[in-house]
A = this chain, B = another copy of it.
């Protein structure tokens, strides 16, 4: 048997069987510049151990690994021709596709087909995947649109954790025909449908979930958050109407009221028998709740509280449920004995049993909106409307029998923030719903991209799948990774928030403020990317992304405008969560902070700032360090800037205005760091090694993508050198390619039931 392959007639191209089997590997390595020097060494170690090779073979192969004397283009081309001429197949679902190809290659030129463990070893350890190289060959490729290496059900189970059964049961409930999605453009009809759905959910006991058992609930806020996200898959309007009724209105009774209010109203609210709204925002005051103008004046002689809207533009605005509700939880300046005790919530009946407005109450429809047209948002004015003193939700501040005001929180600022703090759960839910919207859009976009073909090589009959375009992978894969990261983050935060053993929620408030901002922005960006990724099909309402876009859009504004919340988060970081932030207490906090930070901001070692090997770039320690460094650096420089302004006599309010963009950057950096730390701590707890690796890879992609997005900052700081910055960019693209075979499993792992997706393009 001739064990030497003569290719062409040139002496140079004589290959032994031993060498030939390595040729596909060397072709992949060199023609694409895919592997780094350190990775190439794996190859060397492998063939040195290969007993099927002669010393001469090994010498030849070692020569081909010499970076300074790499195979010429001509030689690479000849390898390619050898492979092409063999007319063999590349089968993607082979366990070792490249080693199998090599085996078939040898079988073609020689009749022998040895099984070579070393080749398999290389393929496994270099993580070479068909996506990396199949375009390099001119051979028939047996593509698989998606791999079954991972199991979507396992991913879903990891994400849902202890709530899996609750969610599964809920998906069954959502099979009821009243949740069947259809297009309804008329707002009155749409609202009627949504109201019916809300009542149905209440009847199925989902409304009261977060309330105590005595009032029909199971006191489980984390489970409620899961339900909330899953309602988003049905329809955005339903989620928001549900949230207004049970979370905001019911929640205000639960959290700000006392037993008197609970006994009278809470069970009914949970059953949607008492429909209510949450009247906080005013036309003139959205983000600045403390500045609202509506007054609630206590009248001692009648023992009544008088609600009043002083000016035409001081009305409540965008109030969800305003057209259906019979009661409102109204936030107003409480004035007792001529003294303004700050903002308090008061329960105010607004309609009678015939659904007629009560005297002194004026309500107008906010009309059509960009989205959420199934929610009845409206404006409310009060003209000297009186309610009993007991209607004051009096958990944190009360008017006593003798007509005097009392609160066990003396500091009015602290009292105000304590009240607002009880509502932070809603902010987590909004982020969850935004994330749900992003997941649904990603699922639709990925499934479309796994069917849709576009363009091709003139020689090929079949056009490429959209999902096989690098730019398409790059637009959809990082948001999928981030969706996993944010999912874990929000679940963790909700658990902390619901932990009643921790009474001081200030730190969580700061965290939620930041996370709600970055996650709702992420949701909007992702949905837009998905819309564009689906082209014209994404524009059609039937494919569901369009409505998600309109619905989720406002999430960046309501439950706290993102820009305002980020500044809140940044101020929280600045004050080190220790003291309320005001210019008086600022100096001492600053002193402390400065000394703390100065120590930790050591100069970055140039070796570190130019480290580009895979091991380093994939290491969560690097990601955490990069995020921590950014937060600390931004905190320090921000603190220094503010201190300088204040030292020069600039009033603190003006100083903060001057550094506003810096505050926003810090708020984002902090939230990003927080999210990654929660996620990476979580992945360490995953017991199944295979899935753990996948979760780690998603974390790495998310982290590197974030560092890449802020590369200019890191470069400016000298934290990264140019080569590291470029290497990170390449790694992001490469991980996207690596995840390509698993992308269908990744979106299925979100666990959105097919009957709620409905989009024809995702079928």
* A368-B541, A540-B369, A654-B457 known; A649+B31 contact, CB < 8 A: yes
CB–CB A31/B648 < 8 A: yes
- Shortest A718–chain B CB gap in Å is 7
B557 touches A532 (CB 8 A): yes
Which B-chain residue is minimally distant from A562 (CB atoms)? B532
| CB–CB B733/A712 < 8 A | no
Do residues B733 and A722 form an inter-chain contact, with CB atoms below 8 A?
no
Q: Which residues of B contact A366 (CB under 8 A)?
A: 540
With known contacts A531-B553, A539-B370, A563-B471, A77–B648 Cβ distance under 8 A: yes
Asked whether, in the complex, the Cβ of A463 is within 8 Å of the Cβ of B291, the reply is yes
The answer on a CB contact under 8 Å between B554 and A539 is: yes
In the complex, which of the residues B81, B136, B536 contacts A554, with contact meaning CB atoms closer than 8 Å?
B536
Complex Cα distance, B76 from A645, in Å, reads 10
**Which residues in B have their C-beta under 8 angstroms from that of A469?**
657, 660
Residues of B near A528 (CB, < 8 A) are 524, 528, 553
Contact of A648 among B73, B540, B733 (CB under 8 A): B73
Q: Scan A624-658; emit 1 where CB is below 8 A from any B CB, else 0.
A: 00000000000000000000110111110110011
Interface pair B369/A539, CB less than 8 Å apart: yes
Question: A649 and B80: CB pair below 8 A?
Answer: yes
CB distance A291 to B455 under 8 Å? yes
Tell me, yes or no, whether A546 is within 8 Å of chain B by CB: yes
Tell whether, in the assembled complex, residue A557 and residue B535 are in contact, meaning their CB atoms are under 8 Å apart: yes
Q: How far is the CA of A317 from the CA of B761 in the complex (A)?
A: 14
Cβ of A470 under 8 Å from chain B? yes
A426 within 8 A of partner (CB): no
Which residues of chain A from 455 to 485 have a CB within 8 Å of any chain B CB? 455-458, 463-464, 469-471, 474
| Cβ-based interface call for A212 (8 A) | no
Q: Is A454 an interface residue (CB 8 A)?
A: yes
Q: Mark A281-305, 1 if CB is under 8 A from B, else 0.
A: 1001111100100000000000000
- Cβ contacts A606-619/B at 8 Å (1 or 0 each): 00000000000000
A523 vs chain B, min Cβ distance (A): 13
Contacting residues of chain A (524-544) with chain B, CB-CB under 8 angstroms:
524, 528, 531-532, 535-536, 538-542
> In the complex, are the beta carbons of B550 and A550 less than 8 A apart?
yes
**A724, closest chain B residue (CB):** B716
- In the complex, what residues of B have CB within 8 A of residue A550's CB? 370, 546, 550
Closest to A524 in B: B528
Structural contact, B649 and A77, CB atoms closer than 8 A: yes
Min CB distance A705 to B, Å, is 13
Question: Is chain A's interface secondary structure helix, strand, loop, or mixed overall?
Answer: helix
CB atoms of B658 and A470 under 8 A apart: yes
B726 contacts A722, C-beta separation under 8 Å: no
Complex Cα gap A318–B553 (Å): 25
Say yes or no: is A166 at the interface (Cβ < 8 Å to chain B): no
A725 at the binding interface (Cβ < 8 Å): yes
The reply to whether A657 and B135 form a contact with Cβ atoms under 8 Å apart is: yes
> Is there an interface contact between B287 and A455, defined as CB atoms closer than 8 Å?
yes
Mask of A66-84 contacts with B, CB within 8 angstroms, 1/0: 0000000100110011000
Q: What separation, in Å, do the CA atoms of A516 and B648 have in the docked complex?
A: 49
Please report which residues of chain A, range 133-160, place their CB below 8 angstroms from some CB of chain B when the two chains form the complex.
135-136, 138
Q: How far is the CA of A245 from the CA of B156 in the complex (A)?
A: 50
Which chain B positions have C-beta within 8 A of A80?
A: 648-649
Cα–Cα, bound, A630→B489 (Å): 39
Chain B residue nearest to A369 in the complex (CB):
B539
Over the window 713-726 of chain A, the binary record of Cβ atoms lying under 8 Å from chain B Cβ atoms (1 yes, 0 no) is 00111100010011
In A652-675, the 8 Å CB interface with B consists of 653-654, 657-658, 660-661, 664
In this complex, which of A77, A136, A712, A726 has the most chain B Cβ atoms within 10 angstroms of its Cβ?
A: A712
Query: Which chain B residue shows the least CB distance to A567?
Result: B471
Mask of A116-141 contacts with B, CB within 8 angstroms, 1/0:
00000000000000000001101000
Q: Is the CB of A557 within 8 A of B539?
A: yes
Q: Is A558 an interface residue (CB 8 A)?
A: yes
- Tell me which of B454, B457, B648, B726 contacts A287 (CB under 8 A): B454
In the complex, A62 Cα to B406 Cα: how many Å?
60
User: Within 8 Å of chain B (Cβ to Cβ): is A183?
Assistant: yes
- The reply on A561 being an interface residue by CB < 8 A is yes
Query: CB distance B536 to A31 under 8 Å?
Result: no
Q: A470-B658, A550-B370, A722-B716 are in contact. Are A536 and B649 (CB under 8 A)?
A: no
**Residues of the B chain whose Cβ atoms lie less than 8 Å from the Cβ of A647:** 73, 76-77
Of chain B, the residue at the smallest CB distance from A718 is B722
Is B288 in contact with A454, judged by CB distance below 8 angstroms? yes
Q: Contacts A546-B369, A654-B135 known; A661 to B553 CB distance under 8 Å?
A: no
- Please tell me if A510 contacts chain B, counting CB pairs below 8 Å: no
Query: How long is the Cα–Cα vector from A79 to B302 in the complex, in angstroms?
Result: 56
Q: Does A185 contact B (CB under 8 A)?
A: yes
- Asked if A470 contacts B661 (CB within 8 A), the reply is yes
Say whether A186 faces chain B, with CB atoms less than 8 Å apart.
yes
A161 within 8 A of B: no
Closest beta carbon of chain B to A107's beta carbon, Å: 22
Q: What per-residue 1/0 map shows which CB atoms of A500-536 lie under 8 Å from chain B?
A: 0000000000000000000000001000100110011
- Contact in complex: B183, A367 (CB < 8 Å): yes
Q: Which residues of B contact A661 (CB under 8 A)?
A: 470-471, 474, 733
Using Cβ atoms and an 8 Å threshold, which residues of chain B touch A708? 712
Residues of B within 8 A of A285 (CB): 454
List chain B residues, Cβ under 8 A from A31. 645, 648-650
Please give me the residue from chain B that is nearest to A566 by CB atom: B471
Is the C-beta of A731 less than 8 angstroms from some C-beta in chain B? no
Which listed residue, B186, B187, B370, B453, touches A549 by the CB 8 Å rule?
Answer: B370
Return chain B residues, CB-CB under 8 Å to A648: 30-31, 73, 76-77, 80
Across the interface, do B185 and A185 meet the contact criterion of CB distance under 8 Å? yes
A711 at the interface (CB under 8 A from B): yes
Whether a CB of chain B sits under 8 angstroms from the CB of A556 is yes
Interfacial chain B residues near A474, Cβ < 8 Å: 661
Specify the chain B residue showing the minimal Cβ separation from A71.
B648
A432 to chain B, nearest CB (A): 20
16 CB contacts below 8 A, A to B, read A76-B649, A80-B649, A135-B657, A284-B453, A286-B454, A288-B454, A317-B536, A368-B540, A369-B540, A370-B540, A370-B550, A470-B661, A474-B661, A536-B554, A715-B715, A717-B722
Contacts A368-B542, A369-B539 aside, 5 further interface pairs with beta carbons under 8 A come to: A32-B658, A136-B654, A286-B454, A291-B456, A715-B725
Kindly list the 9 A-B residue pairs having the minimum CB-CB distance in the complex, ordered from nearest. Answer: A711-B712, A370-B546, A457-B653, A31-B648, A715-B715, A80-B649, A135-B654, A712-B712, A73-B647
